[in-house]
Amino acid sequence: MTTDHGRDLDPTDLPTAGSPTGRPAPSINGASELEQFRIAPAAEVAPTSRRAAREAEAAATKPRQRRQPRVASRPAPRVERSTAPRRSPKQRNVRGIAVMLLMVPALFLTVALPNYASGLGGGQSAAAAAAEELAKVKLEQAQAVTVASGAPVQAVERDEYTATSGAEIRRAEIAESYSAYSGPTAAQYLENPAFPDFSLNQVVNVGLQYLGTPYVYGGATPAGFDCSGLVMYVYAQFGVSLPHSVPAQAAAGTVISAADAQPGDLVIWSDHGHDGIYMGNGNVLHAPNPSKTVEVRPLYSFESVYYVRIGI
């Protein structure tokens, strides 16, 4: 007889009367009786519950998976340690000191600003209180005057005054300068010319006699000239009557080109704000302004002028 483990079953191995069970060993009649001692495989054991039956059925129908070959895993890459230089204790101390230097003033301002603001508010309230107190004192010390209803009331009149313009002051100065000059005027020269024969060259010579004469607004005598007053006075000595005005003097003659201009011709500024007597070689004799006297100076390239000849 053979068991599931493949070992022959010896009848002597069966329990006997002297066995621990205390029972007599049953007799075995052939192989058919020994079948009842066979141990069923685990798969043949009937499940003891419905759940166990379902699990056993699922396990039987589940295909057997093949084991995948084990793949050798690669070693993780080695992490290189940072090569950045580490801060020394001295550097860390310096950084800490810098942080403290920044934080201490900030803490101070945090504490001091509210106090300062409250001080300002107090100052404003004190000023308001002082102003109120001053108004109260003024009100208490105000004086009152009682006037009888029948008291005469004197009318108040405003004093009259007159204003003197700058032009009037300059005219007064001109009148004073005229009073200092005792020679002939332009009108007198027109009646009796000093040079009956007109000559451009002679005009230049007469004009040069008045170099250094002070500038006087509206002046037309050697006591003082303005620009058109000088031209008028010089030409009057030749019996040529010219008005005391730059635009009018420009209209009294004939416009000529700069190439044809000769000494003794008139130089007229294009804006009709100034004129003089041409001296030749790009120079002009004129009475410039109150800060200067009659002079000869060159004509500048930036000045826009044209030329007028009198007598043609």
CA distance 245 to 230: 11
Instruction: Please name each of the domains of the chain with its CATH number.
Output: 177-309 (3.90.1720.10)
Amino acid at 133: E
Confidence (pLDDT) at 250: 96
Q: What's the gap between Cα 299 and its chain centre?
A: 44
Confidence (pLDDT) at 6: 47
| Residue keyed to tokens 């001295």 | 90
Q: What is the pLDDT of residues 77-125, one digit of tens each?
A: 665 565 556 667 767 777 778 777 777 777 766 766 655 555 555 555 7
CA nearest to 272, candidates 240, 294, 291, 248: 248
The two three-digit tokens of residue 66, written as one number: 């093949």
Q: For residue 21, is pLDDT > 60? A: no
Whole-prediction pTM: 0.45
Higher pLDDT, 243 or 134: 243
**Nearest 5°: phi and psi at 268?**
-115, 125
